[in-house]
Amino acid sequence: MTQQPISAISTSDSWHARTTGAATRAMRAISEIAAMLVMGLFVMGSASAQSGIEIDTSFAGGKLTELSAMKTTLSVPAFADEREIEDPRVIFTGEPAENGTAMADRPFAEIVGEAMESAFAASDARLADEDAGMRLAGTLIATEAALVDRGGVESLQLTLRTSIQLVEGTRIVWQTKLFGRGTAPVSQGTAAAVRKALDRLAEELLIDDYFLAEIR
């Protein structure tokens, strides 16, 4: 008579242990799934943050001069980048940038060179990728950004500082320091100020009489 209660207690304990173990495993599985979901969201957020700003490199200034009768062909490769930065996609850093850094979707010096080539194309320059008679060797020296007031409108002002050399063979036939400054309302985004700065940089070169004398 005394063994039945003992047997009943044993069965109850076994059922309780199995139930507790199943609950523990279920809670562990839920925790693992939650952790995976959080990690997935973090990775997605990081990828989005690093995707960068897309910059339109088409020249908005139109045909500034006539270059269809250039004395030789010209190549305009990507600019070199001499800025002290870790990531070549950086446009600028500092307070005007969200989270301290404005980042393009690809190397910014590459964007500068592409925009410059677009400006030459707009003036019907004789462009060539390889075996060109002359080469425009550009170097991006610095980018500077500031928030300014333009008629009561908070605006982003971006300055691009570059070094430009016109190279024929191994000889530098012309060189200068060139900068372009563009300003756009903050509400229009960083890309708007970048595009204006790029256009201004190209305009400064294409209206330089000494430079034009070397390529015409």
DSSP string for residues in 5-24: HHHHHHHHHHHHHHHHHHHH
Domain's final residue, options 26, 50, 74: 50
> What domain range is 10 assigned to?
1-50
What separation, in Å, do the N-terminal and C-terminal C-alpha atoms of the chain show?
A: 117
The CATH number of residue 154's host domain is 3.40.50.10610
Looking at the structure, do residues 60 and 135 belong to the same domain, yes or no?
yes
Number of domains present in the structure of the chain:
2
Q: Which residues pair with 81 in a beta bridge?
A: 140
pLDDT (mean) for 50-58: 89
For residue range 77-102, list pLDDT tens digits in order: 999 999 999 999 999 999 898 889 99
Looking at the structure, do residues 4 and 69 belong to the same domain, yes or no?
no
pLDDT at 122: 96
Looking at the structure, do residues 64 and 143 belong to the same domain, yes or no?
yes
Q: Among all chains, which residue has been given the structure tokens 């173990």? A: 21
Using an 8 Å Cβ cutoff, are 131 and 140 in contact? no
pLDDT at 164: 98
82: CB partners within 8 A, 6+ apart: 139, 140, 141
Q: Tell me how far apart the alpha carbons of residues 201 and 175 are, in angstroms, rounded to a whole number.
A: 15
For residue range 4-51, list pLDDT tens digits in order: 444 444 545 554 555 556 556 656 656 665 444 434 433 344 333 457
Looking at the structure, do residues 32 and 97 belong to the same domain, yes or no?
no
pLDDT at 25: 64
- Which residue type sits at 135? R
pLDDT at 210: 96
For residue range 101-153, list pLDDT tens digits in order: 999 999 999 999 999 999 999 999 999 987 899 999 999 999 999 999 999 99
Looking at the structure, do residues 67 and 174 belong to the same domain, yes or no?
yes
Higher pLDDT, 48 or 66: 66
Looking at the structure, do residues 63 and 38 belong to the same domain, yes or no?
no
Looking at the structure, do residues 96 and 24 belong to the same domain, yes or no?
no
- Residue 161 clears pLDDT 70, i.e. is over it: yes
Looking at the structure, do residues 95 and 194 belong to the same domain, yes or no?
yes
Least-confidence region, from 40-49, 60-69, 97-106, 156-165: 40-49
Least-confidence region, from 45-54, 120-129, 155-164, 178-187: 45-54
Q: Tell me how far apart the alpha carbons of residues 98 and 62 are, in angstroms, rounded to a whole number.
A: 32
Closest-CA residue to 208 (of 177, 170, 167, 162): 177
**Residue 145 phi, psi (nearest 5):** -130, 145
Looking at the structure, do residues 119 and 153 belong to the same domain, yes or no?
yes
**Residue 139 phi, psi (nearest 5):** -130, 130
pLDDT at 99: 84
Domain's final residue, options 28, 50, 72: 50
Closest-CA residue to 74 (of 207, 209, 206): 206
Q: Cα dist. 159→111, 169, 182 in Å?
A: 15, 31, 7
Higher pLDDT, 46 or 171: 171
Looking at the structure, do residues 6 and 37 belong to the same domain, yes or no?
yes
Higher pLDDT, 200 or 4: 200
Q: Cα dist. 40→30, 46, 187, 201, 213 in Å?
A: 15, 10, 31, 42, 58
Looking at the structure, do residues 46 and 138 belong to the same domain, yes or no?
no
- Which residue type sits at 77? P
Looking at the structure, do residues 137 and 81 belong to the same domain, yes or no?
yes
